[in-house]
Amino acid sequence: MDKHPIRRKFIDNPYTLSSSKNDDLYIISFIDSNGIVQNVKVDKEVYDLFDENEKFENARFKEYNDHILSGQYNDEIISKATSIEDEILNNLIVDDIRKVIRSLPTIQKKRIYKYFFQNKTLEQIAKEERCSKVAIKHSIDRALEKISKKFIF
């Protein structure tokens, strides 16, 4: 099993990536809260996500260091960086929202798509569908209510 990729490991990076090209085996290793090393087998997609994040974090660290050393410290650089956990959580939330939207009645699904993803106004949608603005608003509000009910814990 090869440690991969070979790059600088930062103190705050809690995991190590390992892979075996021959066996298509991908491992992420970390120390759990009891101090025990855990090796988790993951598929290539998850491994690549961790790998890309590690490269991204390393690039951010280098950029941050360059700014510090040059005296051009910039808070914006740090605030734009996201953690792998945030990225995975966001992807899971987006997937869940997509599933809920797919389960909506066709008319509500179309109206949600037009309103939020095509940035159309209620008036534009009403004109396209030859109905009132109030009917469109009511339909979108009902869809949002159904979506929000799925996410209340």
The H or E element spanning position 20 is: strand 15-20
Q: Are residues 120 and 92 in the same domain?
A: yes
- How many domains does the chain divide into? 2
Q: Are residues 100 and 33 in the same domain?
A: no
Q: Are residues 23 and 90 in the same domain?
A: no
Q: Which domain holds residue 127?
A: 84-150
pTM for this entry: 0.44
**Could you tell me the CA-to-CA distances from 85 to 18, 49, 77, 89, 146 in Å, in that order?**
19, 11, 19, 6, 27
Summarised one tens digit per residue, pLDDT across range 14-67 is: 767 777 766 678 887 778 788 888 888 888 888 787 777 777 777 777 766 666
Mean pLDDT of all residues in 131-150: 90
Give the amino acid at 38. Q
Summarised one tens digit per residue, pLDDT across range 55-112 is: 777 777 776 666 665 655 555 555 555 677 777 877 888 888 888 888 999 999 999 8
Report the alpha-carbon distance of residue 146 to residue 153 in Å, rounded.
Answer: 14
